[in-house]
Amino acid sequence: MAIVNLTEADFESTVMDSGIVFVDFWATWCGPCRQFAPIFEKVSENNEDLVFAKVDTDANQGLAGALEIQSIPTLMAFRDGIMVFRQAGVLPAAALEDLVSQVKALDMDDVRRQIAEQNKES
């Protein structure tokens, strides 16, 4: 699957309805973003069963603000509508491939249980 460009209009529906989604928050002027782009693209080609998406933070400032993006590139991973990973900075290809494997292997029942326990404590 080709990399999808997300906007404020389709971000939530994509994350909620697409199973596993990796989102790269970037901007055209950002050197590290340009460095990460080919890595992100290559890993997406190796995982066509997943959604790989990009959000241009300049064009989607409201979304970037709502998600508290303070540094780019920022990578987020969602599974079943739940954010399971967030990190700013460039990931090497091997680390991104490993992250993909880890997200695929998650026990989502356990993740939901942990979230429910945290919510009880708050």
Considering the candidates 3, 4, 27, 30, report the single residue annotated as catalytic. Answer: 30
Considering the candidates 6, 15, 21, 33, report the single residue annotated as catalytic. Answer: 33
In 27-109, where do the E strands start and end?
A: 51-56, 74-79, 82-88
Q: Alpha carbon of 73 to those of 23, 93, 122: distances in Å?
A: 10, 14, 30
Say what the alpha-carbon torsion angle 46, 85, 53, 39 is, to the nearest 10 degrees.
-50
Other beta carbons less than 10 A from residue 75's beta carbon: 21
Contact criterion met (CB below 8 Å) for 104 and 122: no
30 is catalytic: yes
For residue 7, the 8-state DSSP code is: -
Residues with a known catalytic role: 30, 33
